[in-house]
Structure 1
Amino acid sequence: MDADSKRALILRYLDAYNRFDVEAMMATVHDDVVFQNITAGEVTAQADGAASLRQMAEQAKTIFAARRQTLLAFSETSKEAAIQVAFEGVLACDLPNGMKAGQELRLEGRSEFTFEDGRLIRIVDIS
């Protein structure tokens, strides 16, 4: 895939994520996708395969009343791409870590993507 195709696929994924559109999000990923969320150097969530990622995405719809990832920067190599993102979200429910419904989250992070067969096969969100 060329850089423009990689960027377009990532933007489709982000757009679907921002709209809570699980079907459109899943259309961008490979059946064997691996997703990881890493916070402070620790894996806090992982999905192995499209079914696992779909379940995680459906669950996330109940956690956030609103959310948005905004692309800040894009870079790519022959098989991978990375983006810097700003994340904003509003919690829809209280969380076990003490955060409360209605609380706003704002952070910046990095997402790394690997591609196979024109889809995302590896997604790592790092904050």
Structure 2
Amino acid sequence: MENEEMQRLIERYLSAYNTFDIQGMLDVLDEEIRFLNVARGEVTTETLGIADFRALAEQSVPIFSERRQTIRQIGFTQGGAEVEIDYEATLAVDLPNGMQAGEVLQLRGKSVFQKKGEKLVRIEDHS
């Protein structure tokens, strides 16, 4: 039962993420949500609290014309889950690193989710 609840929370979060539904994402998050983006072992982005998470989510929307996180595999831990993710996104704008609008990003990574009560309290995206 606990694993099913966790999976439903993750699926609701990803569905909202994939459709740029910021409020839908926030609906499954605890007020004290901690989010980390980790690239090549280094934390590149970190937020603490729902207001910081909302701000990051709103900044990210105009960068992509499409984006999709797809679950490849999910493993449950005590109070959480580790999810292998396929990520694909189409850029809507040119980026400072030289990537151009219209280019497609494809990554495989891992997301770690932790739950507190009925909400997600921690999300770590690793690529």
TM class, shorter-chain normalised? Answer: over 0.9
How many residue pairs match? The answer is: 127
Match of 1:84 in 2: 84
The correspondence of residues 1-127 of structure 1 with structure 2, limited to 5 A, is 2-127=2-127
Question: Hey, what's the Cα distance between the residues in 1 that align with 2:78 and 2:47?
Answer: 24
Gaps of 5+ in 1: none
Runs of 4+ in 1 over 4 A off after TM superposition: none
In the superposition, the TM-score normalised over structure 1's length comes to 0.97
CA RMSD of aligned residues (A): 0.9
Structure 1 residue 67 displacement after superposition: 0.2
In the superposition, the TM-score normalised over structure 2's length comes to 0.97
Identify which range, 91-100 or 25-34, moves more after superposition: 91-100
Structure 1 residue 101 displacement after superposition: 0.8
Structure 1 residue 77 displacement after superposition: 1.6
SS at match of 2:70: strand
Question: Hey, what's the Cα distance between the residues in 2 that align with 1:93 and 1:36?
Answer: 23
Matched-pair identity in %? 42
Structure 1 residue 89 displacement after superposition: 0.2
